[in-house]
C-alpha cells in the first residue's frame, strides 16, 4: 500500500495561526489609536471649557469692580446707603485717606497734589488718577501695568466701599496677592459741554443756563477695571464713564 504523508496539514494550520495573530495585532493597534484620539479630544474639550469658564469668571469680576468703583465715587455703601457716622478711620468711605472724590471740586487741587506726590510715575494713588496724558491702554504695557497694580495704586474690591468679597460667588474678588485678582482706577476728567457756545445767546436772567451740563457736571469719571483669572493668559479689561449730577 502506498504511504500517505501527513506533513502538509500541520504546516497550513501553523500559517493560519500566524495570520490570525497579525489580524489581532492590527485590531489592537487600531483600538489604541482610537482610544488615543478620543482621549486627546476629551482633553482638548476640557481645556476649552476651562478657558471659557475662567474668562467668564474674570469678566464677572471686572463688572463687579466697575460697580464697586461707582459706589466709591458716589460715596455710598453697596447697599445704597450713605457712609455711617462710625466710618471715621480706615479706607472704607475714604474716611481717613488723603485722596477722595470731591464732587463739588472745592478741594480738587489738594487731591491732585497728593496724587502727584504719591504717584509720580502712574499718576494714580489709591484708585484715583489724574487724566492720563500718555499711553491710554496701559494694560498692554507690562511694565506700566506692573506699576499700576502695585500697592496703593489701584483699588481692590470693597477696599473703599466696605463690600465683602466673601459674600460674592466670585473667588477672584477676594484675591489680594501681588499681581493677581482685580483692580480699578478712576480718572477725573474735566467736563466740557460741546454746545456751551449756545449759552452765549441766552438772556442774562435765564434759568436755562443754570441747568447747562457744563455748569452742573464739572467732572466725569472714567473707570478702568481689570481682572485676572486663575490661568496666566486670562485677563479682562472693562471701561465705563460715570457722570455724577450735582445737586444745587
Per-residue pLDDT of the chain (248 residues; tens, 9 = 90+): 555 554 555 555 555 556 777 777 777 888 888 888 777 777 666 666 678 899 999 999 999 999 999 999 998 888 878 776 666 667 888 888 889 998 777 788 889 899 999 988 899 999 999 998 888 899 999 999 999 999 999 999 999 998 887 778 899 999 999 999 999 999 998 876 555 554 455 445 444 444 444 444 578 999 999 999 999 889 999 999 998 865 55
- Using CA atoms, how far apart are residues 186 and 102, in angstroms rounded to an integer? 13
Q: Which of 234, 178, 182, 200 is nearest to 63 (CA)?
A: 182
Q: What is the pTM of this model?
A: 0.72
- Using CA atoms, how far apart are residues 139 and 68, in angstroms rounded to an integer? 20
Amino acid at each position: 500500500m502506498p504511504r500517505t504523508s501527513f506533513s502538509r496539514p500541520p504546516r497550513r494550520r501553523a500559517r493560519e495561526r500566524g495570520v490570525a495573530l497579525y489580524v489581532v495585532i492590527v485590531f489592537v493597534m487600531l483600538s489604541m489609536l482610537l482610544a488615543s484620539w478620543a482621549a486627546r479630544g476629551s482633553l482638548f474639550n476640557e481645556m476649552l471649557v476651562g478657558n471659557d469658564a475662567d474668562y467668564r469668571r474674570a469678566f464677572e469680576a471686572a463688572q463687579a469692580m466697575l460697580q464697586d468703583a461707582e459706589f466709591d465715587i458716589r460715596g455710598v455703601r453697596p447697599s445704597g446707603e450713605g457712609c455711617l457716622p462710625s466710618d471715621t478711620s480706615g479706607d472704607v468711605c475714604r474716611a481717613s485717606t488723603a485722596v477722595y472724590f470731591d464732587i463739588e471740586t472745592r478741594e480738587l487741587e489738594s487731591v491732585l497734589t497728593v496724587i502727584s506726590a504719591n504717584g509720580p510715575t502712574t499718576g494714580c494713588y489709591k484708585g484715583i488718577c489724574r487724566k492720563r496724558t500718555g499711553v491710554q491702554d496701559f494694560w498692554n504695557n507690562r511694565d506700566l501695568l506692573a506699576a499700576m497694580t502695585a500697592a496703593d495704586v489701584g483699588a481692590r474690591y470693597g477696599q473703599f466701599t466696605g463690600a465683602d468679597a466673601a459674600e460674592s460667588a466670585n473667588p477672584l474678588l477676594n484675591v489680594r496677592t501681588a499681581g493677581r485678582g482685580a483692580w480699578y482706577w478712576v480718572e477725573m476728567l474735566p467736563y466740557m459741554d460741546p454746545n456751551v457756545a449756545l449759552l452765549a445767546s441766552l438772556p442774562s436772567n435765564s434759568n436755562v443756563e443754570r441747568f447747562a451740563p457744563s455748569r452742573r457736571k464739572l467732572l466725569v469719571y472714567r473707570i478702568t477695571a481689570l481682572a485676572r483669572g486663575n490661568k496666566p493668559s486670562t485677563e479682562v479689561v472693562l471701561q465705563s464713564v460715570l457722570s455724577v449730577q450735582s445737586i444745587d
